[in-house]
Amino acid sequence: MNDAVLHIRAALAESPSNGEVLVLAGDIFMDLEQMEKALEYYKKAYDKDGDNQVSARKYARALSEADRHDEAIAVARRAVKNNRNDVYNQLTLGEVLVNADSLNAAELVLTKAREMNRNIPDGFLALGSLYYRQRIYESARDNYEQAIKIDSTNEVALERLATMYFRMANSEMDNALAAELYNRSLQQWASVIRINPKNARAYYE
């Protein structure tokens, strides 16, 4: 990653106002968990071209991760206003609303996003996570399973489904049903390992 930082600094020195370079710099510093640096470059990219959908979404998510929820929602809403037919703009708005604990508003937005394109796993995955957060486990499971039907290699969906089954098993009073839920959880973790043999958490579980 040090090499990546050296390369991006050279690119910034050569093209300090290039939007793609600025976004890439933000991505690199996000990966390094240097939030202030990431925000700095995402903001520069967004200020340069606020109508650019990619930079708007990344800036909104970074603001949300930094707990600057009002700003994140404002940026995401502007992106949606600029292009209401972009499902990823809707998903970003839903995501930042969830992070801001505006769960009812988030559910409306994410449901709309899911129905805009049922051929991608993203809407199902986002709604599954929302319902999981609300402990509405049946709805969470249905959405996670649909995401996996669309993309059987979706590691995030498999991990979350495995975790959900484990939580459900822990709260189940019927021993036979609890054992079945534990088994389902292990099956999902086994699927994760097949997809990514380097997933340490899956081995641990």
Res. 1: pLDDT tops 70: no
Residue with tokens 């709604």: 127
Angle between helices 155-170 and 175-195 (to 10 degrees): 160
Mean pLDDT, residues 61-79: 96
Q: Are 63 and 75 spatial neighbours (Cβ–Cβ below 8 Å)?
A: yes
Mean pLDDT of 49-64: 92
The more confident residue out of 55 and 202 is: 55
**Structure-derived torsion over alpha carbons of residues 178, 181, 187, 189, reported in degrees to the nearest 10:** -90
Average pLDDT, the chain: 91
Written as one string, the DSSP assignment of 110-149 is HHHHHHH-TTSSHHHHHHHHHHHHTT-HHHHHHHHHHHHH
Comparing 202 with 37, the larger pLDDT belongs to: 37
pLDDT digits (tens, 9 = 90+) for 128-185: 999 988 989 889 999 999 999 999 998 989 999 999 899 889 888 999 999 999 999 9
pLDDT value for 33: 87
Name the H helices within 32-174: 35-48, 53-65, 69-82, 87-99, 103-116, 122-133, 137-150, 155-170
pTM of the model: 0.84
Residue 180's H or E segment, with its range, is helix 175-195
112 has a pLDDT exceeding 80: yes
